[in-house]
């Protein structure tokens, strides 16, 4: 079971935040196939948000084929997002750390590192789509 949280300043609507948190948890292996998502009532009671927001998020996840609702029981994870990629996380993180150390040695501060990473990430993402 995971616990949702909302970030007021993220600029994302609460419903999208919920969807992302489920996907994230599935990617990180925190949610596996067959796991139950918190009930709508639990989420509402915890976050004090509109029930329809939660329903909408769950419907979206269902539509994406990630979860399945069992009437009267709850909503369960019905897919897996980790595939084999979870295994690759370790080595990739190692490489990223080395790159960060290199960047610092080159005299970049936190903000510059972040900017460099984001612009590169976006350009390459854009190229892939194109």
Partner 1 sequence: MTAVLQARGLGKRYGRHWALSDCTLDIPAGHVVGLVGPNGAGKTTLLNLASGHLTPTTGEITVLGGRPGTDPNQLRKVGFVAQDTPTYAGFTVAEHLRLGARLNPGWDDATARDRIARLGLDPGQRAGTLSGGQRAQLALTIGIAKRPELLILDEPVAALDPLARREFMQGLLEAAVEHELSVVLSSHLVSDLERACDYLVVLVDSRVQVAGEVEELLATHHRLAGPRRDPDQLPRDQRVVSASHTDRQSTFIVRTDSAIHDPVWTVSQLSLEDLVLTYLDSSTRVAPRPVLEVQR
Q: Which residues bind partner 1 (CB under 8 A)?
A: 6, 13-14, 40-41, 44-53
| CA–CA dist 101, 74 (Å, integer) | 46
**15 vs 26 by CB, closer to partner 1:** 15
**What tokens were used for 17?**
């935040």
**26 vs 49 by CB, closer to partner 1:** 49
- Whole-number minimum distance, CB 40 to partner 1, in Å? 6
CA angle, residues 7, 11, 17, in degrees to nearest 5: 55
- Tokens 């009267």, residue located: 72
- Whole-number minimum distance, CB 14 to partner 1, in Å? 6
**31 vs 54 by CB, closer to partner 1:** 54
């Amino acid at each position: 079971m995971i616990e949702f949280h909302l970030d007021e300043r993220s600029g994302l609507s609460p419903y999208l935040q919920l969807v992302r948190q489920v996907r994230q948890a599935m990617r990180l292996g925190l949610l596996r196939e067959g796991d139950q998502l918190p009930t709508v009532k639990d989420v509402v009671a915890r976050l004090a948000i509109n029930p329809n927001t939660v329903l909408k998020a769950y419907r979206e996840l269902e539509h994406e084929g990630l979860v399945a609702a069992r009437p009267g029981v709850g909503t369960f994870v019905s897919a897996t997002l980790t595939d084999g990629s979870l295994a690759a996380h370790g080595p990739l993180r190692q490489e990223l750390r080395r790159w960060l150390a290199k960047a610092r040695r080159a005299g970049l501060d936190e903000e510059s590192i972040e900017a460099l990473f984001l612009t590169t990430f976006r350009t390459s993402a854009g190229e892939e789509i194109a």
